[in-house]
Amino acid sequence: MSDTTTKRPTQTTGQTQLVGDKLLTIPEVAEMLRSTDATLRYWRHIGTGPRSFRVGRHVRYRLSDVLDWVEEQCRNAQAAPRNPGHAR
């Protein structure tokens, strides 16, 4: 993985704080999610998946956005019923 980082402001109790955030490529995110590059490209095309953006011609993901998206998926999976209508 590359050591590319960005500085972005975050709100903490009314104060702005700079946080280093690693920029990831499609293959790096695919490896993290144990998915394929094609799946990430498809999710980007249909507007789902982790938030991404372009840097010139290249697609990048912030590590924090990917981790937030994974947490959101976990929360959604826990909130949804597993098999509605099927009693065990």
Domain annotation covers residue 12: yes
Rounded to whole angstroms, how far apart are CA atoms 56 and 78? 38
- Global pTM reads 0.69
Q: Residue 17: is its pLDDT beyond 50?
A: no
Residue 32 lies in a domain: yes
Tell me how many helices (H) and strands (E) the chain has: 3, 4
Q: Is residue 38 part of a domain?
A: yes
How does DSSP classify residue 9? E
Structural domain containing residue 28: 5-79
Local confidence band at 21 (pLDDT 50, 70, 90 cut-offs): confident
Confidence class for position 58, pLDDT limits 50, 70, 90: very high
Domains in the chain, number? 1
CATH assignment at residue 71: 1.10.10
Neighbours of 17 (CB within 10 A): 10
Looking at residue 81, its pLDDT comes to 72
Residue 85 lies in a domain: no
Residue 71: pLDDT over 70: yes
